[in-house]
Amino acid sequence: MKDRRFILALLVAIATLLFNWGTAIAAQHEHALKVGKTGEVTFDKETRVGDLAFKPGRYKFQHRVEGSEHFVYFVEWTKSHPSGSLGTPTPHPGEVKCRIEPLSRKVLQTKVYTVDEGTAKRLTKVEVRGENVAHLF
């Protein structure tokens, strides 16, 4: 009888853990951010990429390959001028190494994916127009 109660308690504990894990995974739903033709993206909340944190603002996405390694960084842009130009770049705070995941076809439009992380967002993936890989963080 004690063995049955123990097994039942163990099954309930496992079911509770699986339910909580599934709920946590569902809460991390990815959001795609619109990226302009020249790689500009607007973060409406603090956004983290690897160890870097970006305040809300307008950024230009940059991608660099060195050998077989891929890196990304974001350059912050000041507010645009009345003439319609993008503004002026500020130095980027650093770059982040990323993993590459093959895709079944070339990307038609650059997209930046984020998940909510409390009051901030975390960048999880970047797909670059014309490439057949996703950059994962």
Q: What is the chain's Cα-based Rg?
A: 20
* Mean of the per-residue pLDDT values of the chain: 79
pLDDT tens, position by position, 53-103: 999 988 888 888 899 888 888 888 765 555 555 556 566 678 899 999 999
| pLDDT at residue 26, rounded to an integer | 40
pTM, two decimals, is 0.67
In this model, does residue 125 exceed pLDDT 80? Answer: yes
Are the C-beta atoms of 30 and 105 separated by less than 8 Å? Answer: no
Where residue 27 falls among pLDDT bands split at 50, 70, 90?
very low
Q: pLDDT at residue 116 above 70?
A: yes
DSSP 52-116: EEE-SEEEEEEEEEETTEEEEEEEEEPPPPTTS----B------EEEEEEE-SS--SS-EEEEEE
pLDDT at 7 over 60: yes
pLDDT given at position 85: 55
For residue 57, the cross-strand partners are 43
3-class SS of residue 37: coil
Q: Which two structure tokens, joined as six digits, stand for 82? A: 């009345």
